[in-house]
């Protein structure tokens, strides 16, 4: 690409760090990908990706799932789901934003994977490479019957004696009939045709002329084989329009500046993110530095927002940062410098609203670590902290203890009063235990009606004293349905020469003794 023919859309495709690809669900075939998309799939060129046998890789259930997508695309929906792919035999899990994309003969799927990777321009430059093939010349009468052909046409055209029989698509046949019946002297189209080599793509020129022998009007057909171009660059034809359509469909906000920070290109998503009440085209030529100053108060840290822009432009390196908005949204901003050789041509900014993603991550982390009934740590989270505490205790030669708590006669509570009452009892006791513990102590629901308490820097004596306080606090409780509740407790100080699991077994054995001795008491081993 020459600087003089700089196309902002092409620069965006080359520099976007978001992997993009278009997949033909009906054929189970890839038809296009940007450089980041090819890098994601581990290929160097589009032909390799498009020739990959996805039909053999995609399971029947996944194929059914993709066909369900088509129904949703037809309704204008965007599907956001997580997929695991195996580009080179190793799993890659990505969050995919899938939307319908109109292919020439069917509805395909545009996939946006939220990754940030270096881009490669070779795929787009390859679109300029075309192969020249011999021209095929045929003459037909006005009814479309073959009169004569040159040697190249006889060798490569099908044996059909009628012009219409060479074409595969009805739409192309109708177009030729309309032209032949009209007043235009010539017609051009690109279409799949039947040849001696099978189905091929031809660029076809049709021209009315006078037969020098008979004086009748005839049709001259000139054909050039463009199959190589179509197969190698099927989705890059009319690259400017295609790339512009892709940019418009991207959910992320795109902003492209020239080297003087004048706006070259923005998409509708950018305007939506920043509540700009104007079409993207109206922003072209705007002073981006001035616009940033005017919009900085939208961010919780206006100074940091401006400083981040200045630093990225000064360092000329790709960088991603997180921005907190005043209205509570969270944006992810990616900067990519646009170079041609060593010359800096401008700046590409991409903004994503990742608020839902961040909130979902927090929710998933909470669900992974907390017991849904009591809100206490679950067993998995407790065991992680227990191991960390054990290592710290050994490192600093400090004591720590464990207390296992069990609700007495809990099965009778469920049998007599129902599981709702049992759940109330679990919540009531977890709240009461939490009120007595120190900030450094850790309380977890161990399973069923059992709880476990981790007491850092606490000897057996201190643990027994705390256990008795817990027992007395629970004993003073009174549930409106269940009535009085008691607990039994097993206590163990963890020795440095044993594992936490061994200490837990000792505490559990002590708890068993407390229950066998009549419950509502404490035992230590």
Could you give the angle at which helices 355-369 and 379-396 cross, rounded to 10 degrees?
80
Both tokens of 369, joined, read 């670590």
Contacts of 21 (CB under 8 A, 6+ apart): 30, 32, 33, 34, 37, 41, 49, 110, 111
CATH 3.30.450.20 domain position(s) in the chain: 8-123, 133-230, 250-357
pLDDT tens string 74-122:
988 888 887 878 888 777 888 888 999 999 888 999 999 875 443 333 3
3.20.20.70, 3.30.70.330, 3.30.450.20, 3.40.50.300: CATH of 8-123? 3.30.450.20
- Identify which of 390, 439, 418, 421 has the alpha carbon closest to the alpha carbon of residue 485: 421
Task: Write down the pLDDT at residue 108.
Answer: 92
CB 288 within 8 A of CB 262: yes
Q: Under CATH, which number does the domain 369-524 receive?
A: 3.30.70.270
Task: Write down the pLDDT at residue 124.
Answer: 31
Both tokens of 491, joined, read 């206590």
Q: Structurally, what CATH architecture does the domain formed by 250-357 represent?
A: 2-Layer Sandwich (3.30)
pLDDT tens string 138-182:
889 988 999 888 878 888 887 778 898 889 999 999 999 999 888
CATH 3.30.70.270 domain position(s) in the chain: 369-524
Task: Write down the pLDDT at residue 7.
Answer: 47
In terms of Cβ atoms closer than 10 Å to its own Cβ (0-12, 13-18, 19+), residue 327 is exposed
Q: CA distances (Å), 261 to each of 188, 289, 290, in order?
A: 43, 7, 9
Task: Write down the pLDDT at residue 242.
Answer: 64
Give the Cα separation of 55 and 317 in Å (integer). 39
- Residue for token pair 């007395």: 472
- Identify which of 394, 396, 405 has the alpha carbon closest to the alpha carbon of residue 495: 394
Q: Which residues of the chain fall below pLDDT 50?
A: 1-7, 10, 116-133
Task: Write down the pLDDT at residue 212.
Answer: 67
3.30.450.20, 3.30.1660.40, 3.40.50.2300, 3.40.190.80: CATH of 133-230? 3.30.450.20
Task: Write down the pLDDT at residue 35.
Answer: 87
- Residue for token pair 């004993």: 475
Task: Write down the pLDDT at residue 503.
Answer: 94
Beta bridge partners of 487: 407
Task: Write down the pLDDT at residue 241.
Answer: 62
Q: CA distances (Å), 206 to each of 143, 179, 192, in order?
A: 14, 9, 15
- Identify which of 511, 434, 444, 507 has the alpha carbon closest to the alpha carbon of residue 474: 434
pLDDT tens string 191-238:
999 998 889 999 999 999 887 667 788 999 999 888 888 877 665 555
Give the Cα separation of 226 and 369 in Å (integer). 60
Both tokens of 294, joined, read 């005017």
* Helix or strand holding residue 103 (H, E): none
- Identify which of 492, 434, 498, 431 has the alpha carbon closest to the alpha carbon of residue 458: 492
- Identify which of 11, 260, 286 has the alpha carbon closest to the alpha carbon of residue 270: 286
CB 485 within 8 A of CB 479: yes
């Amino acid at each position: 690409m020459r600087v003089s023919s700089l196309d902002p859309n092409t620069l965006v495709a080359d520099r976007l760090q978001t992997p993009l690809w278009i997949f033909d669900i009906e054929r189970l075939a890839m038809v296009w990908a940007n450089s980041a998309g090819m890098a994601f799939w581990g290929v160097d060129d589009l032909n390799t990706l498009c020739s990959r046998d996805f039909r053999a890789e995609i399971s029947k259930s996944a194929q059914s799932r993709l066909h369900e997508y088509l129904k949703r695309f037809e309704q204008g929906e965007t599907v956001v789901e997580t997929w695991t792919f195996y580009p080179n035999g190793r799993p890659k899990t990505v969050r995919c934003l899938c939307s319908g994309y109109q292919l020439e003969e069917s509805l395909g799927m545009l996939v946006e994977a939220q990754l940030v990777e270096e881009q490669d321009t070779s795929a787009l430059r390859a679109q300029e490479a075309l192969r020249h093939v011999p021209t095929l010349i045929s003459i037909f009468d006005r009814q479309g019957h073959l009169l004569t052909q040159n040697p190249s046409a006889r060798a490569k055209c099908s044996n059909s004696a009628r012009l219409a029989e060479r074409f595969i698509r009805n739409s192309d046949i109708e177009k030729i009939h309309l032209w032949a019946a009209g007043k235009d002297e010539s017609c051009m189209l690109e279409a799949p045709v039947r040849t001696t080599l099978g189905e091929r793509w031809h660029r076809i020129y049709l021209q009315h002329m006078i037969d020098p022998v008979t004086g009748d009007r005839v049709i001259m057909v000139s054909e050039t084989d463009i199959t190589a171009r179509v197969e190698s660059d099927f989705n890059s034809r009319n690259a400017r329009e295609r790339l512009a359509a892709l940019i418009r469909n991207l959910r992320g906000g795109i902003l492209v500046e020239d080297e003087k920070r004048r706006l070259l290109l923005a998409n509708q998503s950018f305007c939506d993110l920043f509540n700009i009440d104007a079409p993207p085209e109206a922003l072209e030529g705007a002073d981006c530095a001035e616009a940033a100053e005017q919009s900085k108060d939208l961010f919780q840290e206006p100074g940091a927002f401006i400083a981040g822009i200045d630093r990225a432009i000064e360092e000329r390196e790709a960088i991603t940062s997180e921005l907190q908005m005043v209205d509570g949204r969270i944006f992810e901003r990616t900067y990519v410098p646009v170079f041609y050789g060593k010359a800096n041509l401008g700046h590409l900014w991409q903004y994503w609203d990742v608020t839902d993603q961040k909130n979902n991550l927090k929710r998933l982390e909470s669900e992974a670590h907390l017991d849904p009934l009591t809100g206490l740590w679950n067993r998995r989270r407790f065991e992680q902290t227990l191991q960390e505490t054990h290592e710290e205790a050994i490192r600093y030669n400090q004591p720590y203890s464990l207390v296992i708590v069990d609700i007495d006669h809990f099965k009778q509570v469920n049998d007599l009063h129902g599981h709702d009452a049992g759940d109330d009892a679990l919540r009531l006791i977890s709240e009461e235990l939490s009120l007595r513990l120190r900030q450094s102590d850790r309380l977890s629901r161990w399973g069923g009606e059992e709880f476990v308490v981790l007491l850092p820097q606490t000897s057996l004596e201190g643990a027994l004293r705390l256990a008795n306080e817990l027992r007395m606090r629970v004993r003073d409780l009174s549930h409106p349905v269940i009535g009085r509740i008691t607990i039994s407790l097993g206590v163990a100080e963890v020795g440095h020469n044993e594992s936490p699991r061994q200490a837990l077994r000792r505490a559990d054995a002590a708890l068993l003794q407390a229950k066998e001795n009549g419950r509502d008491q404490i035992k230590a081993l």
